Amino acid sequence: MKKRTKRKKKEISDASLLKLPPLEHEGEKTGKENKNENPTSISNNKINNDINNINNNSSNKNKNKKTNTINTNDNNIINDNINNNDDKDKVKLDFIDCIFFSKYTVIEEIADTDFSKILLLETKDQEKFAAKIEHKKFGRHLLEYEYKIMNYLRGDYIPKVKLYGTSGDYNILIMQVLGKSLDYYIEKLETFSIKTTAMLAYQMINILQYIHLRNIIHRDIKPGNFVMGLNEENLNLYIIDFGFAKKYKSTTTLKINPLTEGHDLTGTSRYSSINTMKGLAQSPRDDLESLAYLLYFFLKGSLPWIGIKEKNKENLDKKILEKKISTVDEILGEDLPIQFCEFLKYSKQLQYDEMPDYNLFKEKMMEVISLGGGKFDKIYDWTDENKLKEEEEEESEEPEVDKVETTCCKM
């Protein structure tokens, strides 16, 4: 398993600083911070229209959109530093010590994905924030959409957005910095205990209920998209990455979108629902089924379709789908509390336009905890830092095995 090494912060001098021009805030000429923390004060009609427009016209918008950027010598420096090889989808530039909005200094790179970078920022007052940055040309142009979704959903389970804007060739989203993802913890511990999984499940169901009641589905449920808070919020769970999220219901008529077929796979095949992999339009039932697979992965450290090898992605997805269909729910949940099997069965039996009974399964997760003699104290398996350190020390030096999963999106 590869370890991320923290880079030492370079000495900042006038000569070494790469100062980006002020970002342009959404709908304004200058990059002003989003100080409004009250979700009800947002113009929901405007945001709904924006989300609808992006859902319906994203591909055309990305081709024809004219963005107002500030061209300076600094932007030319940025462009010259891009590694122009054949892999043009990735953000290649080293942003350490760059300054955004004349206020936020990049002090560390947190993650490097195929289409964006996640950076740790610090202000002069030593406040910490996270930034997600994508190149307008090479990225997937999802940040503006993600910004609108997060603003619309703003609440206890959603990272607080500080600001969104553009600088030169880059789209930048600055938001609340959070702790480590569940992907980090499951890699370290390999499996979670029943109690930890049940406590997480309760919170995850609660989070999905929150976003579904606001007419949004997430469409990419996986360990990396659930993140623990930081400092005083370190026991609370958040959901992130709304690039694939979508409205499934009209906010005016409250009618669900028609059930359609022939959709490309949106999400991660390892956890995607059977109907999603068949090409059917998604609704809340699909988020729940994905969550059920995720819980089994936490409990067992694997799933029957993990490890399937196929060079062609289309054939791989087809084999994963066949394995999901042929796997008996009871066998998948063997030696585990029956509530987890009931949750999977229930999610698979839901109709496309049927709203789940979230409270029923939150109660069932509480049953799992109490029957095991525990209580909902938010003391997780990783709360014991010494145990986590022991796991890190015992990590094998063998090469990391590539994970078999695919993620794609139909715009």
CA distance linking residue 210 with residue 236, whole number of Å: 15
CA distance linking residue 357 with residue 359, whole number of Å: 6
Instruction: Please say whether the beta carbons of 273 and 338 come within 8 A.
Output: no
Confirm whether 220 is a catalytic residue: yes
CA-based end-to-end distance of the chain: 33
CA distance linking residue 271 with residue 186, whole number of Å: 15
In the numeric block, the tokens 């992130």 are attached to 240
Counting runs of H as helices and runs of E as strands, what totals does the chain give? 12, 12
Q: Determine which helix (DSSP H) or strand (DSSP E) holds 180, and give its type and residue range.
A: none
Per-residue tokens: 15? 């000569």
Q: What angle do CA 63, 67, 71 make, to 5 degrees?
A: 125
Closest residue by Cα to residue 268 from 299, 291, 239 = 291
Residue 403 C-alpha from the chain's centroid? 18
Hey, which residues does 242 pair with through a beta bridge?
none
CA distance linking residue 284 with residue 355, whole number of Å: 7
Q: What are phi and psi of 146, to 5 degrees?
A: -60, -40
Instruction: Please say whether the beta carbons of 165 and 245 come within 8 A.
Output: no
- The catalytically annotated residue of 74, 169, 220, 241 is 220
Instruction: Please say whether the beta carbons of 171 and 31 come within 8 A.
Output: no
CA distance linking residue 55 with residue 51, whole number of Å: 6
The catalytic site residues sit at 220
